[in-house]
Amino acid sequence: MDTSLVQQAIDNVNFAAIMPALILCVVGMAALLIGVFSKRGRTFHISLICLFGLVAAGVATVGGWNQPYQFGFSGHVALDNFARFFNMTFIIGSILTILMSDDYLKREGYPISEYYPLILFTTAGAMLMASGTDMMTIFLGLEVLSVSLYVLAGLFRNQVRSNEAGLKYFLLGAFSTGFLLYGIALIYGVTGTTNLTDIGNYFIYHPALLTNPMTIAGMLLLSVGFLFKIGAAPFHMWAPDVYQGAPTPITAFMSAGPKAAAFAAFLRILLLALGGLENDWTSLLWVLAVATMTIGNVIAISQTDIKRMLAYSSISHAGYALVGIVAANEIGISGIMFYMLAYTFMNLGAFAVLTLAGKKGENNLTLDGFAGFGFKQPFLGVAMTIFLFSLMGLPPTAGFAGKFYIFAGAVKAGYLWLAVIGVLNSAVSLYYYLRVMVYMYFRDPNEEFEWVALKTGAVISIILAIIGVLYLGILPGGVMEMAKLGLF
Amino acid sequence: MITVYHYMAVSAILFSLGTFGVLTRKNAIVIFMCIELMLNSVNLTFIALSRHLGSMDGQVFVFFIMTVAAAEAAVGLALMISFYRNRESIDVDDINLLKW
Amino acid sequence: MELLELLFFYLVAFVAVLSGVLVVSCKSPVHSALALVNTFFCLAVFYVMLSAPFMAAIQVMVYAGAIMVLILFVIMLLNLGADAHRKYTHGVVWGAICGILTLLVTGFFVKRGSITGMQGDVTTELIQGFGHTELIGKALFTDFLLPFEITSILLLVAIVGAVILAKKEV
Amino acid sequence: MYDKLWLIPFFPLVGSIINGLLGKKIKNEKVIGGISTVAIALSFVVSCKYFFQLLGDTDKTHESIVASWMSVGSLQVDWGFLLDPLSALMIMVVTGVGSLIHLYSIGYMHGEEGFYRFFSYLNLFCFSMLMLVLGNNALVMFVGWEGVGLCSYLLIGYYFEKKSAGDAAKKAFVVNRIGDFGFLLGLFLLFWTLGSKGVWTIQFTEIAANAHLLESGGVIVTIITLCFFLGACGKSAQIPLFTWLPDAMEGPTPVSALIHAATMVTAGVYMIGRMCGLFAMAPTTMMVVATVGAATALFAATIGLAQNDIKRVLAYSTVSQLGYMFLAMGVGAFSAGIFHLMTHAFFKACLFLGSGSVIHGMHHGYHHAHLHDDPQDMRNMGGLRKKMPITFITFLVSTIAISGIPLFSGFFSKDEILWWSFGSNRGHWSLWLLGAIAAGMTAFYMFRLVFMTFYGEQRTDARAKDHIPESPLTITIPLMVLGVLAVIGGYVGVPAILGGANHIHHYFEPVFGEAIKLNNISAHGSHATEYALMAISVGIAVFGIFLAWTMYVKNPALPGQFVAKFTGLHRVIFNKWYVDEIYDALFVNPTKRLGTFLWRGIDVRVVDGIVNGVGKLVNVGSMLLRYTQTGYVHNYAFMMVVGMLFIVGFYILR
Amino acid sequence: MTEHLLSLLTFLPLVGMIVVLFLPRDNGPLLKGCTLVVTLIVFLASLPLAFNDVFKTSAEMQYVEFVKWINIGDYFQMNYFVGIDGISLWLVMLTTFIMPIAVLSTWNAVDKNIKGFMALSLMLETAMLGAFISLDLFLFYIFWELMLIPMYFMIGIWGGKNRIYAAVKFFIYTAVGSLLMLVAIIYIYYHAVQSGINIDGFSILDFYNMSMEPELQTLLFLAFALSFAIKVPMFPVHTWLADAHTEAPTAGSVILAAILLKMGTYGYVRFAIPLFPEATQQFLPYLALLAVIGIIYGALVAMMQEDVKKLVAYSSVSHLGFVMLGIFALNIQGLAGGMLQMINHGISTGALFLIVGFIYERRHTRAIADFGGLAKVMPVFATVFMIITFSSIGLPGTNGFVGEFLILMGAFASELRWFAVFATTGVIFAAVYMLWMFQRVMFGKVTNPANEKLDDLSMREMALMLPLLLFVFWIGIYPNVFLEKMNPSLENLIKQSTSKQHVAVVEVEQPSLLTLNK
């Protein structure tokens, strides 16, 4: 009995299926150890190690592209193209984050070596979410990600805003976890399993269960949990505060990677496990998508703090991405994948500019603080402009291609009005994005404007982001094709 | 006969109590405890269901939930401590610097 | 026997709910914490009744033992018992409405729900024969190996996080 | 044969371009003036050649296409010229009178700033006018039509530093544009109507040939012709669009003579003549034309009675005489109308140039005495016949001609018109009556002008009165030539009952004959009637002269008494029946107010208000929604629970 | 070479922009010179298009280039598909012709951030040319939106006092419309896919042949029409224009008026009408009504303006109203007139903005009341101004007349007869507001001492105006050069918009694409 058990366990192990996450975890732990033995305040080499880890994970991901699916661990993970695509998104997000972080942390006075491993663990958690095919894996991946993010958000422990961000995120995140778990429990009760494929199959054979209040309630409570992570209304309210209070690179990271991870997991659950409830969740998400993008865009208009404004903009982008889920067709889903990648580039790029533009304490990241910025710092100005245009969704940028992709899905699925509302929302969003540019270029700088030095890491991340934004904007074909192949 | 519904009813009551507590209490630690209460109610559901369905998955899930709760408790309490150091309070009404 | 069991169930359930009420209503966090411990114990009893003794054990050990001790420790560390004169609740009415509604909603789907999931092979006999702990262990190291490993990362993150957050200096 | 017609407008165009581009460099007035005068004179020579060639030709209609202009689908427009008796006469008048006035201008405009500009414009005007009369289709005519409007604008605004000049120029152009509006509408309607009958054309010859496709006397042809008539009204200063012409006297006097007396203002008459085939088919329109013409003749004459500005009197006289021409066209006397056009060109040009000569002299005198009195006010003149004899004689001759005294040109043409207005089957005795009264008034105010200017005491300021010279030769030669023409010009159209052959009538036969014949237009009546009418009109004219003599020579105090007695009437007439004021109140000011309202009210308040309002609304919504983000965790948690309750509640209770 | 001529034209400015970006930022003349050279090269390179006689006979797309661009299987395909016919030919020419003039006009006017301005100008040229030559709706949309960016910055950075409001208004106003168009574009594509016709990406040539049920056409047409109407701009969505024109720098105004506004009218001709012929018929009276309101309204509002530039801006509303009326006449005269009037408006109004720029550079004011009597001080300027004024009024012999005449003629020959009657009153109002402005600026005595010593036009300024004047008369006197090359395409367009047979498409039940686990 013992041997067979061991054999069974060994048979189930398939490292290939978790390779990218594995690499990140190993490198993360190594970096932690090295950090312990490094001189306090020296973090650069740690960041390099972590970058290396990310690149390695990237190689592992890309190397497996279009290879057969890797299942493993008793159906707990599946490294398919869907996961690989999202993994690339996470890796890119993390790389850009780490690049912009080092000088930022030093400037703000928190050269914490554990920071980088935590980012790696977060990324690993995100990867597990994206490739998890069991509620349990997804939940644990989510928790790894969340717990790391609680820590990262509250990283600046002597800064009240950072504390507050971390604490708020923690309290609300834990609260939402309660709903998520309750939802999972109910689904488990109805189907007797937590494996997504099994759940889906079970519903196929027992279609009567699809109208059971417990099933629906389970689906909805589960959605609440994910919608919270995505930042969809009315579960979005943590986002602006946390984004504003968290360290800027973390804000950037949070709004890209974890959000994409939540989308990935949400998509998998909805499509694999709850595909039978399509009518229910599309109608729900229809409303929530509209609410999310409207609230995000409308409130962003009256913001003066750029970080907070981008936080609201991030909410509205989540709303656009939800449109893809509502469409619930191939184009919409590939669209979300593409959009998340595009959003990673443009949003991280914008935040990278902010990390450079800010001064210690970051009290100057307001619209007024940006007056005349474009001419004083031409490079950052142009970069910010490109990112903002991309966020607006104007061609030829990634944002446009992404929006086009998603709205194409919605239109094809017949959600014409949703697409119309979406584009009208984009019109509203023009106003506040343009206002940043108004301040950057059309206003004279304040008296006390000081030139801020460009830091290599952040500049590299900005350049990478610009390349990404323009490449995805002008020649999106390849990546769009990849997103298409990424359907599971 | 004690059915699974009995357990689930208790669980539902505890869940609602937890929600109520989260909404009404001011002390962040108590809020956290209320969240723990909610998680525990979920645990109860899981185990009851697991027993009812005769599968181990639910219990394993509870196992992981407990781990997660522990991890969250560690991080959450650390966050509260560092917040307390700065604000001399863990009243959630004092967590109001970031708004609008 | 069954009736007795049922009565016992109601008793435990009553205590659990009462403790839960105390958790949310006690002014002092310490009292709340103690009430919560009480709830946990009640749940442990339930677990035993559900023939999950291992879960009951770790419920007591991890929850009541570790987590609640940690919480109590922090309460004491921050000396939160001192500011008892302050108002400790807000929005009770709205909270109560929400709580009741939540109860209604959850009650509704519990009542209407059909727990008809696929039946597994774990029977009382198996538990008694093979042993609950063994079953859990088997599950963890075969089917749930990956989640189990993930929890290690999770705990690592939590430890590292707690350390860097609670450290006083950089 | 006729393929060099384009030369006629070409010379003035070249002259205009040369002067316009190089005039500033040339500086020498003689050269500039010379270029222009030679240019127009060359045109005159070419015109003469073609005119006589046409006289000897049996085929009376010749077209010459220079190039295609626009070719869009069924619309084919060419740059083409048409020479027939009508246009031949017109080019003779335009180039002939034009040449004289160019010559005159050399002297008159001596020393003016922008001398080259003046001649450039003048040449450009001649070019446009020749395009107008020579165009073989309505669009080329329209080019000229608007072109003369442009030149009129430029020349009226020649003294652009004077506000009144600028205003007058603008007014002239805008009022003309109102007419053009009619012209265009008529053209579109005509094009479309004929097109729907299968003939897509705007060529005059083809229009004339296909006019029969339209329903004679029908609504459509009436509307078409009324539209064209609106155009004619604008150009030829008929009621209700006459107000610009008196103001146009702000331009230099040669301009008044050429444009606002001899040529441009007669374009409307010419156009009706050109379209006679259509007009003849629309009796209602003809009626309107005749009535408007007669009314204008009388109305303008009444205003002319009381004006003191020498040029204004002439201007109203022009309006009045144009009214006659329209009366003629309206009653079907096409050839008589054109005949009057020609004679009027001679004597009115002479009168204007004469007045210019007087003004020139007065100006000289004032300039010498450093005075700034108005050199155009007749109350400052008097007794000039001795100072400027040539001017006086030519002026007098022309005045007699315009008054319709037998043996002078005006008599023949005017009498022909009056006879037709009475005797034509399209006429009416009341039209004749109006015309006759107007003729009497014309005689009165013209002689009032002569008497006030040349007779009696010299009322000029003592310091200036001895320094008023006769004008130089460049001025007097055109005067003399035109004076002679004013006398003899009428003999081409001596009516049959006076033993003449009425050459002009036969000359126009190829142009108007068919239209008249097809629509049965004829004037009949006994010779006795004709003689009687002639006598009455001459009598009225003589009475008018007598009255003028009584009031301004014999008894100069009389006008004052008269004015004192009829103060109200005089004021109304003196102020031109307040037509300008009425127009301002009725059209100009409401339009301005409407413009302001549309701008400040609609554009800024409503449209932009909505746009900005939506923006503001979103902003306000943003401010409000923003405060949902209270920063308190329990509020957020509350929202989450509420959201969860809504969602779950909705779906499971659904 | 010729087969890639259009791409060359379009992307040459972009290359130029990159070159400009690497030039030293302080060397103004070099930057300007380089930009000017690039635009001139583009103009010269575009001349073979204008001299190609194939347009006289063929309505086919010429110089077609087709490159696969984005190809996502059954999702969607976009191609780099460009080409021109007689309709776009002259707009391309207009663009390449106006750009050097606009650049030259900045010589003294733009003195800060020259590099940025020049780079944006070149980017704008690429975008505009791209929009005119695109035959793929998606590609068109990309260029269409791309135009906003440089213009936004031009207004916002180099504009007048109220520039921020104007720039933001311009951007949002125009973007709102185009976003709806984006949805419509996507919809058309999937409709085409569903109806089973053979399509090559978003190629409009394929969409032309697609039949749509009328209700669908209505919706899609409205989306397109709104977008284009804002760009034109038609009443009542014109208010961005006054602000944008007024605040933009001279070169910006010139480009905006001369080319950008044509995007809207071009959009109608190229997309809205042939794609949705039945909806066009349905909305024709309303759009024509708006066009006529625009004509009269624009004129009346222009009349009362106190700011020269604003006056010219509102006159654009009026003129573009004519263009729209001509287009909606949907007959050859009207369309030809409309197309010609687009060019005319580009030339005349462009020139007017240059003129306003000249006096603004000298006096730094645009208020009419600050001027007066300039004709005496600046005679050459007065002459040029006068010619352009009359061109704008539509005096025969100048370009304006030919266009207006054909438009009105066409409108009169169509069902829009009564609209044409009212539109013709615009002829009167045009004279009123232009001449009144001209009088107040140029005539009268010099009352303001600041106006006494103004320099007359310099050689550079004359060089700007002379080409424009040349075309004023050329088009006025011999428009056939232009007309004959657009006629075949226009006739083809009329055929498309009238003879298309519409068969009701059988509703195809959309198969659920989620075959993921079912």
pLDDT digits (tens, 9 = 90+) for A135-193: 999 999 999 999 999 999 999 888 888 999 999 999 999 999 999 999 999 999 888 88
ipTM of the complex: 0.91
CB-based contacts of C162, cutoff 8 Å, min separation 6: B74, B75, B77, B78
- Which residues does chain D have within 8 Å of residue B23's beta carbon, measured at their own beta carbons? 634, 637-638, 641
Buried b (16+ CB within 10 A) or exposed e, C137-147: ebbbebbbbbb
Q: What is the DSSP letter of D264?
A: G
Q: What share of chain C is helix, strand, coil (3-state, %, to 5)?
A: 75, 0, 25
For A330, the closest of E69, E510, E513 (CB atoms) is: E513
B93 lies in some domain: no
DSSP annotation string for E367-407: BGGG---HHHH-HHHHHHHHHHHHHHHT-BTBHHHHHHHHH
- Paired strand residues for D309: D377
Residue percentage of chain B with pLDDT more than 90: 56
Among D174, D176, D191, D151, which residue's Cα sits nearest to residue D70? D191
Contact B96/D632, CB-based, under 8 Å?
yes
Interface of B with D (CB under 8 A): 19, 22-24, 26, 28, 31, 92-93, 95-100
For A154, the closest of C117, C151, C165 (CB atoms) is: C165
- Which residues does chain D have within 8 Å of residue A284's beta carbon, measured at their own beta carbons? 647, 651
* Residue that the structure tokens 């009675």 belong to: D305
Contact D649/C102, CB-based, under 8 Å?
no
Compute the residue count for chain A: 488
Res E504 pLDDT > 50: no
Inter-residue contact C95 to B20 (CB < 8 Å)? yes
Inter-residue contact E56 to E90 (CB < 8 Å)? no
Other Cβ atoms closer than 10 A to B5: 15
Among E447, E430, E454, which residue's Cα sits nearest to residue E352? E430
Inter-residue contact D474 to D107 (CB < 8 Å)? yes
Distance from CA of C120 to the nearest CA of B (A): 4
Give the architecture-level CATH label for domain C8-85. Answer: Up-down Bundle (1.20)
Residue E480, chain D, CB below 8 Å: the answer is yes
Residues A464 and A386: their CA atoms lie apart, in Å, by 13
For A298, the closest of D621, D635, D642 (CB atoms) is: D621
Reported as a pLDDT band with limits 50, 70 and 90, residue E508 is very low
Distance from CA of C163 to the nearest CA of A (A): 10
Residues B16 and D285: their CA atoms lie apart, in Å, by 93
For D645, the closest of C90, C91, C101 (CB atoms) is: C101
* Residue that the structure tokens 């002269």 belong to: D545
Q: What share of chain A is helix, strand, coil (3-state, %, to 5)?
A: 80, 0, 20
Other Cβ atoms closer than 10 A to E172: 20
Inter-residue contact A297 to A428 (CB < 8 Å)? yes
Maximum distance among all Cα pairs of chain B, rounded to whole angstroms: 54
Inter-residue contact D336 to D273 (CB < 8 Å)? no
Residues A103 and A356: their CA atoms lie apart, in Å, by 9
Model confidence pLDDT, tens digit, residues D577-626: 888 888 888 888 888 888 888 888 888 888 888 888 988 998 999 999 88
> What total of structural domains would you count in chain E?
1
Ordered alpha helix ranges (H), D157-266: 163-196, 204-210, 219-236, 244-247, 253-257
Query: In one letter, which amino acid is D363?
Result: H
Residues A256 and A348: their CA atoms lie apart, in Å, by 7
- Which residues does chain D have within 8 Å of residue E379's beta carbon, measured at their own beta carbons? 24
Other Cβ atoms closer than 10 A to D246: 27
Residues A435 and A312: their CA atoms lie apart, in Å, by 15
Q: Can chain E be said to touch chain B, i.e. do they have 3 or more Cβ pairs within 8 angstroms?
A: no
What subunits touch chain A, counting only 3 or more CB pairs under 8 A? B, C, D, E
Tokens of residue A309, six digits: 């404004």
E66 lies in some domain: no
What is the predicted pLDDT for the residue at D486? Answer: 86
Residues E488 and A59: their CA atoms lie apart, in Å, by 58
What is the predicted pLDDT for the residue at A349? Answer: 93
What subunits touch chain B, counting only 3 or more CB pairs under 8 A? A, C, D
CATH number at residue B49: 1.10.287.3510
Contact C105/D634, CB-based, under 8 Å?
no
For C120, the closest of B5, B6, B53 (CB atoms) is: B53
- Which residues does chain D have within 8 Å of residue B28's beta carbon, measured at their own beta carbons? 633
What is the predicted pLDDT for the residue at C84? Answer: 56
DSSP annotation string for D454-492: HSS---S-HHHHTT-PPP-HHHHHHHHHHHHHHHHGGGG
Distance of CA D6 to the CA centre of its chain: 24
What is the predicted pLDDT for the residue at C85? Answer: 63
> What total of structural domains would you count in chain B?
1
**Pairs across C and D, CB distance < 8 A:** 23
- Which residues does chain E have within 8 Å of residue D24's beta carbon, measured at their own beta carbons? 379
E257 lies in some domain: no
* Residue that the structure tokens 């624009």 belong to: E298
Model confidence pLDDT, tens digit, residues C60-93: 988 888 888 888 888 888 876 655 567 788 888 8
For D595, the closest of E173, E304, E491 (CB atoms) is: E304
Buried b (16+ CB within 10 A) or exposed e, E92-129: bbbbbbbbbbbbbbbbbbbeebbbbbbbbbbbbbbbbb
For A140, the closest of C116, C150, C163 (CB atoms) is: C150
Contact A167/B46, CB-based, under 8 Å?
no
Among D315, D341, D535, D314, which residue's Cα sits nearest to residue D436? D535
Other Cβ atoms closer than 10 A to E349: 27
Mean pLDDT of E420-438: 88
Inter-residue contact A213 to D652 (CB < 8 Å)? yes
What is the predicted pLDDT for the residue at D33? Answer: 87
What is the predicted pLDDT for the residue at D265? Answer: 87
Query: In one letter, which amino acid is A355?
Result: T
Contact D147/E397, CB-based, under 8 Å?
yes
Domain around B65? 4-87
Residue E365 parent element (H or E): none
Buried b (16+ CB within 10 A) or exposed e, E307-341: bbbbbbbbbbbbbbbbbbbbbbbbbbbbbbbbbbb
Residues E280 and D324: their CA atoms lie apart, in Å, by 51
Q: What is the DSSP letter of A72?
A: E
Interface of A with B (CB under 8 A): 135-136, 139-140, 143, 147, 150-151, 154, 157-161, 163-168, 170-171, 174-175, 177-178, 181-182, 184-186, 188-189, 192-194, 240-242, 244-245
What is the predicted pLDDT for the residue at A310? Answer: 92
- Which residues does chain A have within 8 Å of residue D619's beta carbon, measured at their own beta carbons? 301-302
Residues of chain D with pLDDT under 50: none
Inter-residue contact B63 to B43 (CB < 8 Å)? no
Three-state secondary structure of E145-156: HHCHHHHHHHHH
For D643, the closest of A171, A235, A303 (CB atoms) is: A235
Residues of chain A with pLDDT under 70: 1-2, 447-449
What is the predicted pLDDT for the residue at E500? Answer: 53
Inter-residue contact D384 to D392 (CB < 8 Å)? yes
Contact A213/C158, CB-based, under 8 Å?
no
Contact A216/D651, CB-based, under 8 Å?
yes
Inter-residue contact E140 to E65 (CB < 8 Å)? no
E42 lies in some domain: no
Residue D638, chain A, CB below 8 Å: the answer is no
- pLDDT block averages, 10 residues each, chain C of length 170: 87 93 89 91 91 90 88 84 70 89 89 80 80 85 87 93 82
Tokens of residue D216, six digits: 């004679």
Q: What share of chain D is helix, strand, coil (3-state, %, to 5)?
A: 75, 5, 20
Residue C153, chain B, CB below 8 Å: the answer is no
Q: What three-state secondary structure class fits D63?
A: strand
Residues B66 and C154: their CA atoms lie apart, in Å, by 12
E298 lies in some domain: yes
What is the predicted pLDDT for the residue at E1? Answer: 58
E83 lies in some domain: no
Distances (CA, A) of A196 to A184, A271, A275, C49: 11, 9, 10, 30
- Which residues does chain C have within 8 Å of residue A32's beta carbon, measured at their own beta carbons? 156, 160
Contact A427/E176, CB-based, under 8 Å?
yes
Res E515 pLDDT > 50: no
Distances (CA, A) of E438 to D170, E243, E345, E383, E424: 9, 21, 18, 11, 22
Question: Is the bond preceding A234 in cis, omega lying within 30 degrees of 0?
Answer: yes
Report the C-alpha dihedral over residues E474, E480, E486, E487, rounded to 10 degrees.
160
Ordered alpha helix ranges (H), chain B: 4-24, 28-53, 57-87
Q: Can chain A be said to touch chain D, i.e. do they have 3 or more Cβ pairs within 8 angstroms?
A: yes
Q: What three-state secondary structure class fits D80?
A: strand
Contact A241/B98, CB-based, under 8 Å?
yes
For C147, the closest of A32, A76, A202 (CB atoms) is: A76
DSSP annotation string for A347-385: HHHHHHHHHHH--TT-TT-BTGGGTTHHHHSHHHHHHHH
Distance from CA of B98 to the nearest CA of C (A): 20
